[in-house]
Structure 1
Amino acid sequence: MKSNLSRRSFFHKGALAAALSTTALHSFGNGLTEAVERTPQSSKPSDLKITDIKCGYIRNGHSLFVKVHTNQDIWGCGEAVDATPGTYHLAKMMGQRIKGKSPLNVHRLFEDIRRSGFFEGAQSGMYIAVLTAIETALWDLTGKAYGMPVYQLLGGKFRDKIRVYCDTAAYRTEGPKPEDFAKAAKDAIKAGYTAVKFDIDERTDPAKYDAYNWTASPGEMERMYNQVAAVRKAVGPKIDICIDMHGRYDLTTGKRVAKLMEPLNLMFLEEPIPAENAEAYKIISESTSTPICAGENHYLAHGFRRLFELGAVDIVMPDLQKAGGLGEGQRIANLANLYYVPFAPHMVASYLGAMASSHVCASVPNFLILEWQVYFDEDPMFKEIVSFEGPMIQNGHIPLSEKPGIGVEINEEGMRKYATPGMPFFE
């Protein structure tokens, strides 16, 4: 693509004004100019229009990947997780609602889609998850159009690398024993991680009262403590340990487990009870010195407001691949910051989602830590379905991409063999 003087003139005229609000320019007034010089351009931004949205699914539909195409040789990539099975036609409908519009008005397009769906479920769930993927792709596209990384569009960065905790997936061992937890923790530390996470809810635990009772039995409580105590003994006092209960217990058990874990000095206890009842979370948080974390199953900044107003959680963990996107993720983090609550996003997406989340984590002061899955290191699929430069991870941190946009691309051909059967694939 060849540069066009009218577009370059447009950027030169706006560079000095933009520099006043951009936090990481090389020198006054030069950052946007240099970005323009290195970015392919065919016309001024006002001529950039959305022409199509295409999507593909993997993981039996639980991972949605979106590409927003334009009338120029430029596109944006986004991803959503969990609340996505069966949403192909929803994604295409949202695409039709913004077709022909400029992709650079990210917040406006987000509101156009959200407000048009008030009676279609635009408060949470699948609607917001799909909107998340599209919103993320719009940020990626805008960054590419302006030759800037997404964190710069979000106002700049507080850090160059994003610390992660390694979800060790010890649950893959049926009925894991304390020694299995200890070994998984030591393996993660050996790989360079300084924080680990374990799931302590076990649906098949023979000590359970029954399959539907949310109260943990004494046998379950003993198992949970012994597993986590083995981790603390294995890694010593300076490694952060997080544990997850996946919202599968009741208030009584949540309080008891939080209290039981106090001597083990956890970084946080995640979702001891379901997401819906903020008042119940407040009761648990006030009963213990163990930090309580929630937010994976909350949507939009609206969904987090009550948690903050009540002081219901110590740490907030929105999933930036389903809570509303990158702009909404930053709003949630900034809202949390008003209440002095740390921001530690949940993340079970691909490396595209991990890097997209990293841009948000870099852009806010109250970032604590980001989730990382051990299967990124072990399963070749996660390197095949995306394209990127450099290592995914270094010494327990994601190096923040400086490339325009998110810095990670969807690899359609690599993803094709993992596509969900019976679903259209980027059509």
Structure 2
Amino acid sequence: MHTPSQKFLSKLGLREPAADHNTPNNVNDRRSFLKKTALGGLTLGGFMFTPLGDTLAHATSKVNRHSAPSDLKITDMRYAVVMNSTGRCPVIRIDTNQGIYGLGEVRDGASWRYAMFLKSRILNMNPCNVEMIFKRIKQFGFHGRQGGGVSGVEMALWDLAGKAYGVPVYQLLGGKYRDRVRLYADTPEVEDAGQFTAKLKDRLENKGYTFLKMDFGIELLKNTPGALVNNNFWDVGRQWTNEPMTYGATEHLFTQVQITPKGLDILAERIARVREAVGYEIPLASDHYGHFDHNNAIRLGKAVEPYRLAWLEDLIPWKFTEQWKQITSAIDTPTLTGEDIYLKEEFIKLIDAHAVDLVHPDLATAGGILETKRIGDYAEEKGVAMAMHFAGLPISFMANVHCAAATQNFVALEHHSLDVPYWNNLVKTDQPLIEKGFAIVPDKPGLGIELNEEEMKRHLAPESKDWFAPTPEWDQDRSWDRLWS
């Protein structure tokens, strides 16, 4: 049986391409088709003498008939855990009744359970109603990695909505300000200053980055006599532990570790060597100083002022707003925090108090794509810039890219996996993810990526080798979650 469109085309001696409307090959088929119609005299005049039904059928031939957004329903959510330089990164996939799916990523180092806990609360909902679903589930997130579940689901919903409507995610956010997103290259601490400097230069000269970040924490001073006070009690080399009553698990202000003048001179000398190697044209940010109070943060900030760092990051925990304001008022180097903050409200407190010079959300903690854009938009209104923290896989990376493209006061996005050889190959794209220190903003629907299953399966977490296995144990909601009576 012939459709009206097919009858119309047969009159012209043409046939409609049969390719999947969602595939790149179909784009070429359509272009070829349009050329043929032009050669065949299919003009506005021709339309005037054809039946209305045939004309409409042809005029709407580019509509994606594989998706009816108003009828979309969430039918399933599954996960796979992939290893990265920063540890385990759970990837989630939200499936629908129409065969299209959305990809999201729980924050690096977080549990996939933060996302799967939400499955029963979103089943059978329309994924295009992103804000409605977000408001339904946001009560189940919190600061740090606990925000990763809500944020990962939100990413996947935007990916689905973009695919359903056939547009990139940034278009759903109001359009883009930029076609390329500037990245800053994170460079983890290396004890040997020469090796560290060489690593930074490689990022500039070989990889083409135009913005760098370095670590210069007091871990470097742990074996230097006379550089620190109170390190006879605390093991300052254990910053990344979380065991109760250890140095790593004690908030900065409560360690009473102090940096001596000798220690400050050593740290300043390290920065001086880096500045000499990379020059002053390159923005150079800094991070991971160790755990000490706001008075020592001010002393450190003043000691490094001659080297014009782009910012001093997370000197103390983000929640101590008044101490942050004291630090920011006392030093000339810009201050920045926010990678562990969930939702916009705590950012608003910091911004309104003029406590920091830049905000630094991690989209995979902050609440996802739209919430991070709202943080940036609020900061912009108050004259504050936004950099973005990121340390995950390409799925979350592309969510950040779409958000950064759509946010005016954006400065730079972190890239933490430059030294991971397989990182770029974890997904498939029509164009490179990164070129010379800039992320390329895609024009494909949704996030603009597909998983490279073969590569991802090579890097599954050792204790979790399942690849998007069924998760019926998370289907049932047996809890009354309303926060009011």
Are 1:408 and 2:449 matched, yes or no? yes
Q: 2: distance between equivalents of 1:95 and 1:328?
A: 20
Q: What do residues 107-132 of structure 1 show as CA deviations (whole Å, max 9, x unaligned)?
A: 110111124x4xxxx34344421110
- Structure 2 equivalent of residue 426 of structure 1: 468
Show CA shifts across 1:272-310 (max 9, x none).
Answer: 112221111111000011000111111110121210111
For structure 1, the 5+ residue unaligned runs are 4-35
Seen in structure 2, the aligned counterparts of structure 1 residues 38 and 292 have a Cα distance that, compared at 3 Å, is farther
Quote how far apart the aligned CAs of 1:266 are: 1.1
Encode CA deviations 1:320-344: one digit per residue, 9 max, x unaligned: 1121100110111011112111010
1:395 aligns with 2:436: yes
Aligned-partner Cα distance in 2 for 1:91–1:330: 21
Report Cα offsets for 1:241-298 as digits up to 9, x if no partner: 0011366332122101111111111111111112221111111000011000111111
CA deviation map 1:184-217 (0-9, x unaligned): 2222210211111101114363134412443223
Cα deviation, residue 402, structure 1? 0.9
* 1:354-405 deviation digits (Å, cap 9, x = unpaired): 22101111111111111112x33x3233133222232222222111111111
For 2:181, the aligned partner's letter is I
Equivalent residue in structure 1 for 2:161, among 129, 134, 142: 142
Q: Which residue does the alignment assign to 1:382?
A: 423
| 3-state secondary structure, aligned to 2:388 | coil
Aligned-partner Cα distance in 2 for 1:297–1:49: 32
Partner of residue 295, structure 1: 338
Matching residue of 2:138? 114
User: Paired residue for 2:66, among 36, 42, 52?
Assistant: 42
Deviation for aligned residue 1:413: 3.4
**1 CA distance for matches of 2:108 and 2:438?**
24
Identify the residue that residue 193 of structure 1 maps to in structure 2: 209
Residue 196 of structure 2 corresponds to residue 181 of structure 1: yes
The amino acid that maps onto 2:171 is: Q
For residues 38 and 354 of structure 1, do their structure 2 counterparts lie closer, same or farther at Cα, with a shift above 3 Å needed?
farther
1:67 is aligned to 93
C-alpha distance in structure 2 between counterparts of 1:108 and 1:257, whole Å: 45
Partner of 2:223 in structure 1?
Answer: 206
Q: Output aligned runs, 1:243-282, within 5 Å.
A: 243-245=286-288, 248-282=291-325
TM-score by length of 1: 0.84
Contact 1:196 1:241 in 2 (8 A): yes
Partner of residue 167 from structure 1, selected from 171, 186, 206: 186
Q: Which amino acid aligns with 2:420?
A: D
> Matched residues in 2 for 1:167 and 1:47: separation?
43
Contact map agreement 1:245 1:273 (CA 8 A) in 2: no
Mean Cα displacement is larger for which, 218-227 or 68-77? Answer: 218-227
Measured in 2, the distance between the counterparts of 1:39 and 1:419 equals 38
| Letter of the 1:133 counterpart | G
Contact 1:39 1:144 (8 Å CA) reproduced: no
Q: Percent identity?
A: 35
Gaps of 5+ in 2: 1-18, 22-59, 236-246, 248-254, 470-485
Name which of 95, 103, 124 aligns with 1:77.
103
2:388 to 315, 321, 345: 345
Letter of the 1:350 partner, please give it.
Answer: L
Match of 1:130 in 2: 149
Q: State the SS of the aligned residue for 1:81.
A: coil
The answer to whether the 8 A contact 1:39-1:146 is kept is no
> Which residue matches 1:222?
265
Offset from partner CA, 1:109-163 (integer Å, 9 cap, x none)? 0111124x4xxxx343444211100100100111111111111000001111111
Alpha-carbon distance change, 305 to 183 in structure 1, aligned in 2, over 3 angstroms: same
Q: Are the counterparts in 2 of residues 58 and 419 from structure 1 also a CA contact under 8 Å? A: yes
Q: Which residue of 2 aligns with 1:51?
A: 75
Alignment check: 8 A CA contact 2:314 2:336 kept: yes
CA distance in 1, matches of 2:83, 2:67: 39
Aligned pair count reads: 382
TM-aligned CA deviation for residue 40 of structure 1: 3.9
Whether 1:154 and 2:160 are equivalent positions in the alignment is no
Alpha carbons of structure 1 residues 39 and 343: separation in structure 2 relative to 1, 3 Å: farther
TM-score with structure 2 setting the length: 0.74
Counterparts of 2:351 and 2:61, CA distance in 1: 44
Q: Once the 2 structures are TM-superposed, how far is the Cα of residue 37 of structure 1 from its aligned partner?
A: 5.9
Residues 321-340 of structure 1: matches in 2 within 5 Å?
Answer: 321-340=364-383
Secondary structure of 1:51's partner?
strand
Q: Is the CA contact 1:247–1:275 (under 8 Å) kept in the aligned structure 2?
A: no
- How many Å apart are 1:421 and its aligned residue? 2.9
Letter in 2 for 1:267: A
1:223 to 1:388, Cα distance in 2 relative to 1, 3 A: farther
Compared CA separation, residues 37 and 353, structure 1 to 2 (3 A)? farther
* Contact map agreement 1:225 1:261 (CA 8 A) in 2: yes
Q: Matched residues in 2 for 1:229 and 1:332: separation?
A: 34
TM-superposed deviation, 1:410? 2.9
Structure with the greater alpha carbon radius of gyration:
2
Counterpart for residue 411 of structure 2: 368
**Shift in Å, 1:222:** 2.4
What SS does structure 1 have at the residue aligned with 2:365? coil
Distance in 2, matches of 1:78 and 1:397, equals 22
Give the Cα–Cα distance (whole angstroms) in 1 for the partners of residues 408 and 447 of structure 2: 20
Counterpart of 1:296 in structure 2: which amino acid? Answer: E
C-alpha separation in 2, matches of 1:279 and 1:46: 47
